[in-house]
Amino acid sequence: MPIRLFNTLTGEVDLLVPSDGASLRMYACGPTVYDYGHIGNFRTFLQIDVLRRFLKLSGMQVRHVMNITDVDDKIIRNSSAAGLSIGEYSARYVEAFFEDIESLRIQKPEQIARATEHIPRMVDLVQKLSDIGAAYKTDDGSWYFRLAAFPEYGKLSKKDLSGMEDGARVDVDEYEKDSARDFALWKAAKPGETSWDTAIGCGRPGWHIECSAMSMEYLGDTFDLHAGGEDLMFPHHENEIAQSESVTHKPLALHWMHVRFLLVDGRKMSKSEGNFYTLRDLLLKGYKASAIRLALISVPYRHQLNFTFEGLTEATNAIERLRNFNDRLAKGAFPAGENPEIQTAATEAQAKYLAALANDLNTAEARAPIFDLIRTSNTAIDQGRFFENDRVAVLAVLASFDAVFDVIEDRDAEPTKRAIAWAEQSGRQADVAPELFARQSLSDEAIDTLVAERTTAKKHRNFARADQIRNELIEKGVIIEDSKDGVRWKRK
């Protein structure tokens, strides 16, 4: 099935194919590790995860490279305020990032590239830019990109840069829209700052040159797809294009994907508005990692997502439906044979699901046929019109749904446990929802023991004890279900 994805560069929904006929080479801008990731960052990483999982589900090979910006203005400022080296300072946030993406079931890219480990490559690129007159050195020893040397500047963000001032410079990594200026490639060392002694002087790279150098190092001069949050389109991606294409005279990436940022309760997320959430904030409030994943991917990447707690509750309920249904099929016994109505429903659901994702990754439209299939199947099971072959067919659709959405298997205990341990280590115990402590107080083994004791008590007609155990478990967030196949329990 052809896969189409909106391309910021062409302004069209273009076919996405591996240009070398083998594997799709993609680069995604990774985190700047100066703080914990917030849900806006994770929406971007999750949508890129949806893309890579769908490409793989479609049989495509993927070579995905992601950078880690472990040197930049903020890291330098914060680390010196904390009296730490930039390596010491960023280490905890690098670790936190990998923990967080694991919690959200975001697959690790094939290649992770840390900026501080690729300095020679960046220096080399600055030298090449200097050789062709596209870079110049200032009196303080910094290097700048000469915007006038790249007439195509602005082609990605479609900015009108006619008012641009020739030779005006900006030395910060991030800057306001409409202030397109010569930007820093290399910043001369300031006293006390981490720096590298190189052929172009003593200093450290600017943010933009990192991505140009590392993407081309691993993926070649031209690769298939470059992805990132919409806030990176200008100036970051525009600058990457200018730096790379000035040297190679080839397109840096054929396809550019930008994920829109989210709103929280209809407003821009900001610390001062009190609506700023990291992943950890939400886990400590008692929301499951799977629900956060589903809430952040269910709105297609090009649409603004309005993040609300009602939305998280809706995602929690949707996952409950998926898991209950999956359990019903996995553990139930069905008579041999098949119901043609279910067979057709399964085939259609699968086709609609794949078609929606192939159409610019429409995750909302992809979800709908799966829930329709669950309804149809549940009705058929209730009426005794569901057979072994139906079970196989419907489970296959669920598996293909979960290859991308990845929320059916319950792996929610671990992220919550980790978040609580982190809160305890960092003096944030007060932020842990009280019911989470209660839930964590029982291990799986302890629950099994209590459930067995309850079964024995019932057998001996000691109903008072049986009820007491049931209530104790409910209080600690464990639900017991008695069925004809025995007793099952699960955490709320």
Residue 73 CB, nearest approach to Zn ion (Å): 15
Closest CA to 436 of 233, 240, 288, 268: 288
Lookup: tokens for 61:
């090979």
Q: How far is the CB of 212 from Zn ion (least distance, A)?
A: 8
Nearest to 394, CA basis, from 335, 453, 327, 326 = 326
The CA distance from 369 to 3, in Å, is 19
Give CA–CA dist 204/241, Å, rounded. 20
d(CA 11, CA 429): 48
Which of 211, 283 has the CB closer to Zn ion?
211
| DSSP symbol at 50 | H
Q: Smallest gap, in angstroms, from Cβ of residue 211 to Zn ion?
A: 3
Q: At its nearest, how many Å lie between Zn ion and the CB of residue 214? A: 9
Q: Do 174 and 239 form a contact (C-beta atoms < 8 A)? A: no
Least Å distance between CB 117 and Zn ion?
Answer: 16
Taking the least distance from each CB to Zn ion, the nearer of 211 and 442 is 211
Say how many C-beta atoms besides its own lie within 10 A of residue 189's C-beta.
17
Q: Which is nearer to Zn ion, 29 or 318 (CB)?
A: 29
> Could you give phi then psi for residue 253, rounded to 5 degrees?
-135, 145
**Nearer of residues 142 and 212 to Zn ion, judged by Cβ:** 212
**Radius of gyration in angstroms for the set of CA atoms belonging to the chain, rounded to a whole number:** 26
Q: Which is nearer to Zn ion, 209 or 423 (CB)?
A: 209
Amino acid at 491: R
Q: 3-class DSSP state for residue 53? A: helix
Q: Kindly list the distances between the CA atom of residue 61 and the CA atoms of 17, 53, 484, in Å, as whole numbers in the listed order.
A: 10, 10, 45
Q: Decide: 113 and 67 in contact? Cβ < 8 Å.
A: yes
At closest approach, how far in Å is the CB of 64 from Zn ion? 14
Are 155 and 234 contacting, i.e. CB atoms less than 8 angstroms apart? no
Smallest distance from the beta carbon of 347 to Zn ion, in angstroms? 42
CA–CA dist 97, 106 (Å, integer): 11
Residue with tokens 């199947």: 377
Strand partners, 201: 198
Nearer to Zn ion, 154 or 235 (CB): 235
For residue 225, the SS3 value is strand
**CB nearer Zn ion, residue 225 or residue 315:** 225
Residue 215 or 363 having the CB closest to Zn ion: 215
Residue 29 or 200: the one with the smaller Cβ distance to Zn ion is: 29
On the CB side of 105, how many CA atoms lie within 13 Å of its CA?
A: 23
Binding site for Zn ion (CB under 5 A): 29, 211
| Minimum separation from the CB atom of position 268 to Zn ion (A) | 22
CA distance 6 to 432: 41
Nearer to Zn ion, 113 or 211 (CB): 211
Q: Whole-number minimum distance, CB 489 to Zn ion, in Å?
A: 46
In angstroms, the CA 481 to CA 445 distance is 17
CB of 429 to Zn ion, least distance (A): 37
- The type of residue at 441 is S
